[in-house]
């Protein structure tokens, strides 16, 4: 297999990709993650995954690049990482007691091929009390997480069910990532 580079500094993505038994290096690109007016969460994550892959391909032109981005979509809004405690509380109020979508865009790129996909998983959140939110914020887990929660951590207590890929909610849909790697002949 050709040299593989994960275009992410996310420890969760690193752990997920390692689950596949792959050897890879990590290079986290610095790209503009601003949203575009009227952009859907699905379009947003795919655009960012492609931009990350492109940026890393410039540094590793002979490598296979795997890039991803994950965000939540609810009521036509994109919920990224919380900027503050208040911002996290606002996000939790939007998803409390209802379902929301988690979208991950994945891009696998070589110097001659670019493939990307968006994976959607529906997550149901229980109704959160102010005490639930205060307690969860105090753990520090919500910081740096899309939607201000980590399904693989303490937040699992608030999630009665999901429909779709669990690894997608963590940050890298493994089945689909393998399919893209097979498409570029990185895996047999």
Distances in Å between the Cα of 182 and the Cα atoms of 50, 117, 120, 150, 176 are 18, 14, 21, 29, 10
CATH class, 4-183 region: alpha beta
Q: What are the residue boundaries of the structural domains of the chain, listed by start?
A: 4-183
Q: What is the pLDDT of residues 3-51, one digit of tens each?
A: 999 999 899 999 999 999 999 999 999 999 999 989 999 999 999 999 9
> Annotated active-site positions, please?
69
pTM equals: 0.93
Distances in Å between the Cα of 66 and the Cα atoms of 25, 40, 139, 165 are 10, 22, 31, 18
């Amino acid at each position: 297999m050709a040299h593989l580079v994960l275009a992410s500094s996310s420890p969760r993505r690193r752990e997920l990709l390692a689950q596949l038994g792959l050897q890879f290096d990590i290079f986290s690109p610095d790209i503009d993650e601003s949203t575009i007016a009227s952009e859907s969460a699905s379009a947003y994550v795919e655009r960012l995954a492609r931009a990350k892959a492109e940026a890393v391909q410039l540094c590793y032109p002979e490598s296979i690049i795997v890039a991803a981005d994950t965000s939540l979509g609810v009521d036509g809004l994109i919920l990224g990482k919380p900027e503050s405690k208040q911002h996290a509380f606002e996000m939790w109020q939007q998803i409390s007691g209802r379902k929301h979508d988690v979208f991950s865009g994945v891009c696998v790129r070589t110097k001659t091929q670019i493939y990307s996909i968006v994976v959607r998983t529906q997550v149901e959140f229980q109704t959160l009390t102010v005490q639930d939110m205060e307690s969860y914020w105090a753990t520090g887990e919500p910081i740096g997480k899309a939607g201000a929660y980590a399904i693989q951590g303490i937040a699992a207590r608030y999630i009665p069910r999901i429909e779709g890929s669990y690894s997608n909610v963590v940050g890298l849909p493994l089945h689909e990532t393998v399919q893209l790697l097979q498409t570029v002949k990185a895996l047999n």
